[in-house]
Structure 1
Amino acid sequence: MKAVRKAAYEHVDFGEHCSVRVYHRRLPRIPFEWHHHPEYELTLTMNSQGKRFIGDSVAAYGGDDLVLVPPNLPHTWSSNRSIDSSAAQVAIVVWFDGAWVRRLADVCPEYGGLCNLLRRAACGLAFGHDAGMHLRGELDRLLSADPRERLKAVLDVLDWLSEAPGTPLASPSAFDAHTGTPSGHQPDQLNRVLALIDTQFAHPLRLATLAKASGLSGRSLTRHFTQHLGESVGRYITRVRIGHACRLLTGTGLPISVIAARSGFANVANFNRQFKAAKALTPAAYRQQFTGTRQAEDESVPPLTERSPSLRGKRVSGTSRRGSAGRRRG
């Protein structure tokens, strides 16, 4: 079994005195570019269809696909064909720094909703078709020659998305030791529980044990999870375990029974059932889908470590524009 390469690090060049960067990418197809970076990334993909890989989430995409990716979560899109074969595939990418957004929200309460948007996007967030259409309607402003107009457009888009429904994508454990942990600010008591789950997920975890570690009652801990993570304790633990299993499925050739045990599942049958409920695929099918795409790309696309105009901050084939606006350093 061929393991997936480690995600390449992308250096996003904002330019001097910049707050955001807007990137306009046009190309005949979107290759598999498994990478990560410390910035948030909002990407609208148009006239393209294929597979979207966000951490351990693998999903088909098409039309006006709009996704917000948090810092340091490996991701890529990989198209198999254009919707309109006579036109180029287009990706509108907006990069911005999370600390900058939080400082802005501190100074301007009108943008307080942006912090909630970042928290919701801790594991990646896919928006519906209406959101993609909304962003498409802002393209003239986003690609304006005036950097202030671009900045205003980005803030308007993010503010609008802060109230738009979205679907979480990756499992919490899709972040590894090299690329950080899911972003967002939870209370210290909750952080202690998250750290315990992240290190002990392969063992039985009881609510009473987690509550004791947090210094909270079981009821209070449950309320904290719902408030800050949007799901129950049990659901979070399952997502961590499934995420770990996904990494073993795509990065190793271990038997599925071994992966089930190492991921905290008591038996293979339960693992298969929970995995399929979470990913709509059996573990074996997930492994084939993810690694199959990587192997197919290897035949026609140079390795990430040897190429990437986009990952080196240089111009790619096709048309690109860089957007920037005054960023406050500090």
Structure 2
Amino acid sequence: MKPQYERVTIPSGCSIRVYHRQLAQIPFEWHHHPEYELTLTMNSRGRRFIGDHIADYSGDDLVLVPPDMPHTWASTEPIDASAPQVAIVVWFGGDWARRMADCCPEFASLRTLLRRAAPGLRFSSEAATLMRARMAALLDQSPRVRLGAVLDVLVQLAEAQAEPLASPAAHKREARERGSAADVASHARASEAERLNRVLDLLDRRFHEPLRIAELCEVANLSERSLHRYFVRHVGESVGRYLNRLRIGYATRQLTDTRWPIALIATKAGFPNLANFNRQFLSARGITPGAYRRFFETHGHAPKNAAGTPQNLHTRPPSLERPVRRQRHKPSA
């Protein structure tokens, strides 16, 4: 069964992403992504699939999944039927964790954690209790508070007892596949994920420029139709909507971080027409750019009803919100 590639987006101004998932049943969604994933599953029973590892889980289940290892949970029932099943998910980049270890001796043990995590790790019930105790900070609206809680949890997990999950053959195979993918990243037959990442990198670097769809097709070595299909499948929205979100996000930051005139911000964000910028900003944020800036200057924070600000901890990244096609047959132990 081929795992679905998922793009996890780290919110602007954040080092990590936290997601508070609450639902009646955890569905089988076999997928992978280039970020590490730390997941605490609560009030749930079912089966856990990490690489070639398949096992039952119940209660507080704390697992660290390494980059690009296919994984999913699939629940059979809640422990308490009157409450939702819950997962606290933390996504973070390996490069970020290694930089923290390099620059701060206090976090040097993060390197140990990353090495141990190669096959995926299931932590002890004591470690799960530790993370549960940090839930309030992990779900705080302040990115700084969330980051502090995540770092505290990761450092303690570096020394915590844990069970390796995937077999050595499985995680070595994943490592070989990641290495092979890096070697052929510029090849015309690169995977969908590689093609998509080249397009996303171009958009992230040049969102403020007038971009033609032909340029994106060329960098991905795809037809316009295929590019649109890949983009919607993996990102969960069209190229145009994604590009517009980048531009509005940039403009939003400049409204609070600079004293630039709104017309200049619009131009720098990629909107040469001020009236169009005002319409697009109002549609995305529910408030005009001028009113947004005045509110921030008066209250010291963004309007709470401004869409997309701050990060919604209950919302998955766009590609992960996309419905995943159900499989008729799941792997069996």
Output the TM-score relative to the length of structure 2: 0.54
Gaps of 5+ in 1: 184-304, 324-330
Q: Is the 8 A contact 2:113 2:158 kept in 1?
A: yes
Q: Is the 8 A contact 2:19 2:313 kept in 1?
A: no
Q: 2:85 aligns with which of 82, 85, 89?
A: 89
Gaps of 5+ in 2: 179-228, 243-307, 318-333
Q: Is the 8 A contact 1:21 1:322 kept in 2?
A: no
1:244-286 CA-partner distances (Å, limit 9, x unpaired): xxxxxxxxxxxxxxxxxxxxxxxxxxxxxxxxxxxxxxxxxxx
2:49 & 2:58 partners in 1: Cα distance?
Answer: 13
Q: Map of 1:150-229 to 2, 5 A cutoff?
A: 150-175=146-171, 180-181=175-176
Q: 1:13 aligns with which of 4, 9, 13?
A: 9
2:108 is the counterpart of 1:138: no
1:115-160 CA-partner distances (Å, limit 9, x unpaired): 0011011110000111111111100000001110000000000011
SS at match of 2:110: helix
C-alpha change, 1:102 and 1:51, in structure 2 (3 Å) is: same
C-alpha change, 1:322 and 1:50, in structure 2 (3 Å) is: closer
C-alpha change, 1:55 and 1:322, in structure 2 (3 Å) is: closer
2:99 is the counterpart of 1:117: no
SS at match of 1:140: helix
How far off is 1:15 after superposition? 1.7
C-alpha change, 1:310 and 1:61, in structure 2 (3 Å) is: farther
Output the TM-score relative to the length of structure 1: 0.54
2:2 & 2:136 partners in 1: Cα distance?
Answer: 36
Alignment match, 1:256: none
Alignment match, 1:55: 51
The one of the two structures with greater contact order (alpha-carbon pairs below 8 A, sep at least 6) is: 1
Letter in 1 for 2:87: A
Q: Map of 1:287-302 to 2, 5 A cutoff?
A: none
2:24 & 2:149 partners in 1: Cα distance?
Answer: 27
SS at match of 1:67: strand
Q: 1:105 aligns with which of 97, 101, 119?
A: 101
Identity %: 56
SS at match of 1:58: strand
Q: 1:320 aligns with which of 314, 317, 325?
A: 314
How far off is 1:45 after superposition? 0.1
Q: Is the 8 A contact 1:122 1:182 kept in 2?
A: no
How far off is 1:311 after superposition? 7.8
Question: Comparing both structures, which one devotes a greater share of its residues to helix?
Answer: 2
**Number of aligned pairs?**
194
Q: Which of the pair has more CA radius of gyration?
A: 2
C-alpha change, 1:110 and 1:152, in structure 2 (3 Å) is: same
SS at match of 1:25: strand
